[in-house]
Amino acid sequence: MIKGRAWRADEFGDPMEVLQLCGDEWENPDEGTLLVKVEACGIGLPDLFMTQGRYPIVASPPVHPGQEVSGRVISVPPGSAFRVGERVMGITIYGSGWWRGGLADYAFVQERKCLRIPAEMSDEAAAGFVIGFRTAHAALVERVPVTAGERVLILGGAGSSGAAAIQLSKALGAEVIAVAGSDEKLRFCETIGADHVVSYGEEGWPDAVAGATRGRGVDVIFDPVGGATALAALATLATRGRIALVGFASGEWLKLDAQDMVLRNYSAVGVFSGGFSANEDARAFADLAEMVERGAINTPLGSVFEFDQTREAICSLSRPGPGKTVVRMSSEGK
């Protein structure tokens, strides 16, 4: 049994009020999991939502936020493909029924959703890689395959999954139009590969998207935003276009009109990166690892907080800056 610190909420509510730093214990990992000494933890809107009680996978407290981590393996079950001492990045078992997340000294990581960290990748970058790029891969390679030369509209382009989708779309040979909400975020989208950027604040912004496509419309929409923004984006879809429904950062899912879909010949596909088989995950991670090795993709890092700033880090997700938000462990507790 190993003892350490972990952030936990025993009731739903405002993270500044309900999250507490507590003592915790970790036993040897069960089959299919690894025990990792955490170096950094990537966080996103689901961590805010689960703390507030708005995330369907976490139905009741206590809540241990922190969906993905980087660190070193300290214990493995018999038959594991990993070894003690290896640097890894992966998804925690935050939703396993007893909520053990990554904002802690140690974390259990799902072996099937774990990768070895490339030598040149920092702990912070590794902590923010797996979910964003697995989501983008699920949408743009597996569920709504994008081919070279197609035009892809990415909503929430400066967010974690949106920024990953920009890089992955470019790696697939697509032309990318990114939509974001501030000049800072638009510049960020350009620096990570977007061919065109459009501001949500621009009146009639779908017309600007149409202009960027020279009136041809987009072939694919990557939608982690939902709501009115996604509804407006539908006007930019070309005939036989596809929209990947990824998330609801706006607070509500896109409401589709079946008649409009029929008359305009477009399709909508739901994307949940947690809904794939072990073999499908393995193929996706091998594909992503190859892209990392050749320099085609990398974690679009944003704000990096210290461990004692965890409450502030999660609250910041209500109005996040560009890129992936990461919490790194302080020297205390290492």
Mean pLDDT by 10 residues, the chain (334 residues): 94 96 93 96 93 87 93 96 96 69 95 92 95 96 97 96 96 97 95 96 93 95 96 96 94 95 97 91 93 92 96 93 92 44
Asked if the peptide bond before residue 206 counts as cis, ω within 30 degrees of 0, the response is no
CATH number, domain with residue 180: 3.40.50.720
Same domain? For 105 and 168 the reply is no
SS3 state of residue 229: helix
User: Per the domain annotation, does 288 fall within a domain?
Assistant: no
The distance in angstroms from the start CA to the end CA of the chain is 16
User: Per the domain annotation, does 60 fall within a domain?
Assistant: yes
User: Per the domain annotation, does 287 fall within a domain?
Assistant: no
Tokens describing residue 106: 């140690």
Same domain? For 138 and 269 the reply is yes
Q: Which one of 233, 259, 274 terminates a domain?
A: 274
Same domain? For 173 and 225 the reply is yes
Closest listed residue to residue 186, CA positions, set 210, 213, 214, 166: 166
Q: What pLDDT does 95 receive?
A: 59
Determine which helix (DSSP H) or strand (DSSP E) holds 302, and give its type and residue range: strand 301-306
What DSSP string describes 41-71? EEE-HHHHHHHHT--TT--SS-B----EEEE
Instruction: Supply φ then ψ for residue 315, to 5 degrees.
Output: -65, -35
Tokens describing residue 152: 């892809």
The Cα 178–Cα 155 span in angstroms is: 6
Same domain? For 101 and 155 the reply is no
Q: What pLDDT does 93 receive?
A: 86
Residue 120 amino acid letter: E
User: Per the domain annotation, does 306 fall within a domain?
Assistant: yes
Same domain? For 118 and 140 the reply is no
Q: Collect all residues with Cβ–Cβ distance below 8 Å to 275 and sequence separation of at least 6.
A: none
SS3 state of residue 324: strand
Q: What pLDDT does 96 receive?
A: 55
Closest listed residue to residue 159, CA positions, set 209, 252, 224: 224
Residues spanned by the domain of 99: 2-129+299-328
Structural domains in the chain (count): 2
Same domain? For 117 and 151 the reply is no
Q: What pLDDT does 164 receive?
A: 96
